[in-house]
Amino acid sequence: MLAFPNEMRVMDFVATNGLLTKQKSSPFETNVKILLQNLSSNTYLSGFYNTTIGDGGDRIYGLAMCRGDVNQDACRNCVKSASQEIRKDCVSQDAIMWFELCQVRYSYQDFFSMMVYTGKYPDKWNDQQGNASNPAKFNNVLVNLMTQLSDDAAFDPSKHMFVTGEAKVSKKVTIYGLVQCTKDISGSDCKNCLNYALLDLQACCYSHEGGIIPSRNCNMRFGAQQFYNFTSSEIGLVQVNSRENWATWKILVVIFVSVFLVASLVAFFVFYVRWRNKTQNGEMLSQNVFLNESPLHATIALTPQCDVLATKEMPFMDLATIKVATDNFSDSNKLGQGGFGSVYKGVLPDGKEIAVKRLSRKSWQGLEEFKNEIILIAKLQHRNLVKLLGCGLEGQEKLLIYEFMPNKSLDAFIFNPVKGLELDWNTQYAMEGLFSVKSDVFSFGVIMLEIISGKRNSRFHLTEQAQTLLAYAWRLWNEEKELEFVDSLLTQSCPTAQVLKCIHIGLLCVQEDPADRPTMSSVLALLGNDGSLPLPQPKQPAFSVRRVQQFEVFSFSDPSVDDKSNSDF
């Protein structure tokens, strides 16, 4: 029997949804305090309790759960401590905190009976575990144990969605496992949640002798030492021990499975060789037809049916010329990695710089995909887009030749902390012809707001200020706090009135109804306006915060953010 301490150990991580907080004196904040008191007073009776407090926009939903093997005193103390800590660390409208023996969550949204898997790795916890001497065998036993425990927790009503058990790896090594689901979800949702948790457990803790994956609706933990209380009535003990005559039966099963696998592999290999030969022959035939229909020094053009024809502006280039231009695809000339291969800088004999996309032989992109990419890019030829100059098709090599862009794209300058200082950040930036009057008005508005704020629209997804940059600008506009939106570079170099006018025009460009957005000619006129033309009041932007699904951001992780702006052309 394990003794649990009065002071529960904090898992050292907290999750919130990053929404704006209510004032401390608001009804919502009062309801949160009442809710947490109710959770502290009632959860220990059954180990699980959920309730709601308040009405309308100030209604708050709450849930608390204790581990199924703890006694009532330990449960009450843990929930009380978690309820106190969650208000210190999570001053938010949606928060969750895990202790070692319990978890507490509240939200302004109704999350009862909804399974949303949010499992993460508490690195400080998992990294303290030792390493298994035989990782492969240890992992196999672990997966079998956790799968059986998950089935029992999800589909055995007598377990009340909490099961523990153990399995022998060797005479000296035993794995102890624990799984638990919140009692407001169904058995199938419990099983799905635990399946996801097992995948994450293998990803974070392979070769470790212990690990834990907590989530909003389920938790999974294992260790080489007993960490739960055997005396709890909730425990379902799982023993993976040998039985009489098991060794003989095991040998027969191994022999049968081995023979079956060998036969299957032989059959698969024969089938694969035949399929590969057929595919290669078909690809060679298609390639020859493709080359014959598009002779050397011809280019790709499109019929109304999007068939490939030959013209005289986009030549096929032979592989030898491209190898010389790229120094045989030298790493020193490598510009980056694309979706289907690498991109290299090259110099043709006439001194023209090019960018060569070399499709990876390991990718699944074949001749048909190669043809489709040429068709797609040819349809997108535009003076503001990178141009496709030619292509190469020889043997297994499939190459696309583009014009070289030495200055990269616009966002490489706008959001670079060094190169950004080289730009003229005067508000006349957008009036000097840098943006075509044919550019999309909405994209222009997003770029204008990005320039003014110095931030990417994508980086504002689910931050504390708002879900998007547009929502953030709209909120500050309505609160008459527009200057909080402005980048410090602009506040130091541009008149305030000009900056505010640009924010106003940017919001006009991103209005939800396209009919309300001005034309580019109107935008240019408004930017050049000295104040004689009144600016209409903008309406709500296209991306309303009410349409963005809420997710949780965990303080113990460092989520990667795509550096590509949502407003890239």
Instruction: Check: CB of residue 76 under 8 Å from CB of residue 104.
Output: no
Backbone angles phi and psi of 562, in degrees to 5: -65, 125
* Interatomic CA distance for residues 181 and 161, integer angstroms: 5
- DSSP category for residue 516: G
Instruction: Check: CB of residue 446 under 8 Å from CB of residue 455.
Output: no
Instruction: Check: CB of residue 241 under 8 Å from CB of residue 168.
Output: yes
* Interatomic CA distance for residues 325 and 320, integer angstroms: 9
* Interatomic CA distance for residues 455 and 461, integer angstroms: 11
Going from the C-alpha of 358 to that of each of 96, 346, 380, the distances in angstroms are: 47, 12, 20
Q: Among 439, 455, 457, 450, which Cα is nearest to 524's?
A: 439
Count CB-CB contacts under 10 A for residue 129: 17
Count CB-CB contacts under 10 A for residue 410: 17
Angle, nearest 10°, between helix axes 367-379 and 246-293?
50
Backbone angles phi and psi of 496, in degrees to 5: -60, -40
- Is 357 one of the annotated binding-site residues? yes
- DSSP category for residue 208: B
Binding-site residue ranges for ATP: 357
Binding-site residue ranges: 357
